[in-house]
Amino acid sequence: MEDPAPSLRKMADVLQHITKHYQAGPKSRKERGWLRINKNTMTKEVMSTILSKKPKCGPVPPGEVVVRVAVFHPTKSDKTQEILILGSQKLIDLKNAIDCITENILVEQEGDEIPCIHSSYFYINRTFYDYIAPGDSEPLSQRITTWAKQKEKEGEIRFRRLRNRKMENVRVVDLDIQLGAHYHFCHAIDENHTIIFTEIRFHDAFDPQDRGAYPLDVFKWQEKMRKCCSCAVNHAQLVIYGDKLSASNPAYYCEMCHKAFHKDSQGNDIYLDYHVHPYTHD
Ligand SMILES: [Zn+2]
Ligand SMILES: [Zn+2]
């Protein structure tokens, strides 16, 4: 049997190191400020880069409130983002700060029968906070509120008091929210992200001091990027469904391998009974 002593000694060293670190405490007030951000996996260097790209809008006024919002993946239980936003900022600023790949790939293609819809809403405490994108004729929540009104007429009291407000007109600090409760952000027609308000506190000396820094990402999910199933060298750029010659369904290809397998020397498709979509990451 292996002698446990070396691993125990190693563990004791680690514990001693951790104890020393906590006893010593942070070296300066500035460093303590960074520690608050670092616990969300953003390193000091990454955060400095992010802050250097933010516009300069002047100092945050005294008494300002900072709200931390966690955003979750629409189909998995993973948290994808954590955002610090000022209480005086509008809900539309929070919407613009939510980074979802679906919004980026919603580009209208020529000949599309269904137009892309960029409108979205937050659903918080029986209120739809709508954003109507230019070109869209009605709020994304319209179908739900119409259906709810019909149900109300039929005597279903649980659909009463649903309200609509524009997210451009609502400050974060004016929301009627509960810490830890699950609310919804819906975009791209029917993609729902759970959002949770996890912290509300006063802005202090340890936070970034310029208003332009907010909304500020303090946590970002590490995206998973697949490789091409053919060359296994390049990152996949296309995802293919129902392809009879691929070993898996869906199959992921780089542009070069897809062309080599599915087009002839003239660049014409060899067969068309499969679906190809652009792929960025999971
Ligand atoms: Zn999304
Ligand atoms: Zn390839």
The CATH number of residue 130's host domain is 3.10.290
pLDDT at 265: 87
ipTM over cut 0.85: no
Segment 6-28 shows an average pLDDT of 48
State the distance from the centre of ligand 1 to the C-alpha of 268, rounded, in angstroms: 35
Question: Tokens for 234?
Answer: 């390049």
Q: Considering the domain boundaries, does residue 7 fall inside one? A: no
Is residue 43 pLDDT above 60, yes or no?
Answer: yes
Same domain, 274 and 202: no
Residue that finishes a domain, picked among 205, 220, 235: 220
pLDDT at 277: 86
Same domain, 215 and 228: no
Burial of 237 (0-12, 13-18, 19+ CB in 10 A): middle
Is residue 9 pLDDT above 80, yes or no?
Answer: no
Domains in the chain: how many in total?
Answer: 2
Give the residue, 208 or 113, on which the prediction is more confident: 208
State the distance from the centre of ligand 2 to the C-alpha of 239, rounded, in angstroms: 12
Q: Considering the domain boundaries, does residue 183 fall inside one? A: yes
State the distance from the centre of ligand 2 to the C-alpha of 222, rounded, in angstroms: 23
State the distance from the centre of ligand 1 to the C-alpha of 118, rounded, in angstroms: 11
Is residue 97 pLDDT above 90, yes or no?
Answer: yes
State the distance from the centre of ligand 1 to the C-alpha of 187, rounded, in angstroms: 6
Same domain, 148 and 167: yes
Q: How far is CA 261 from the centre of its chain?
A: 35
Is residue 28 pLDDT above 80, yes or no?
Answer: no
Helix (H, G, I), strand (E, B) or coil at 280: coil
Give the Cα separation of 121 and 78 in Å (integer).
21
Same domain, 98 and 126: yes
State the distance from the centre of ligand 2 to the C-alpha of 259, rounded, in angstroms: 9
Long-range contacts of 189-193 (CB under 8 A, 24+ apart): 189/117, 189/140, 191/74, 191/100, 191/102, 192/74, 193/71, 193/72, 193/73, 193/74, 193/80, 193/98, 193/100
Same domain, 78 and 202: yes
Same domain, 186 and 239: no
Q: Considering the domain boundaries, does residue 62 fall inside one? A: yes
Same domain, 234 and 209: no
State the distance from the centre of ligand 1 to the C-alpha of 105, rounded, in angstroms: 10
pLDDT at 108: 54
Q: How many residues does the chain have?
A: 282
Q: Give residue-wise pLDDT tens across range 116-149.
A: 788 999 999 999 999 999 888 899 999 999 999 8
Q: Which ligand is nearest to the Cα of residue 73, counting in written order?
A: 1
State the distance from the centre of ligand 2 to the C-alpha of 78, rounded, in angstroms: 29
Give the Cα separation of 100 and 66 in Å (integer).
23
Is residue 2 pLDDT above 50, yes or no?
Answer: no
Residue that finishes a domain, picked among 192, 220, 248: 220
Is residue 6 pLDDT above 80, yes or no?
Answer: no
Is residue 48 pLDDT above 50, yes or no?
Answer: yes
pLDDT averaged over every residue in the chain: 83
How sure is the predictor about 34, in pLDDT bands with cuts at 50, 70 and 90? very low
Most confident of 6-10, 49-53, 191-195: 191-195
Segment 26-34 shows an average pLDDT of 42
Q: Considering the domain boundaries, does residue 13 fall inside one? A: no
State the distance from the centre of ligand 2 to the C-alpha of 252, rounded, in angstroms: 9
Give the Cα separation of 242 and 264 in Å (integer).
20
Domain residue limits at 267? 224-282
Same domain, 123 and 209: yes
State the distance from the centre of ligand 1 to the C-alpha of 132, rounded, in angstroms: 16
Same domain, 50 and 98: yes
Same domain, 196 and 278: no
State the distance from the centre of ligand 1 to the C-alpha of 76, rounded, in angstroms: 12
Q: Considering the domain boundaries, does residue 169 fall inside one? A: yes
State the distance from the centre of ligand 1 to the C-alpha of 33, rounded, in angstroms: 31
Q: Considering the domain boundaries, does residue 22 fall inside one? A: no
State the distance from the centre of ligand 1 to the C-alpha of 220, rounded, in angstroms: 14
Same domain, 202 and 248: no
State the distance from the centre of ligand 2 to the C-alpha of 255, rounded, in angstroms: 7
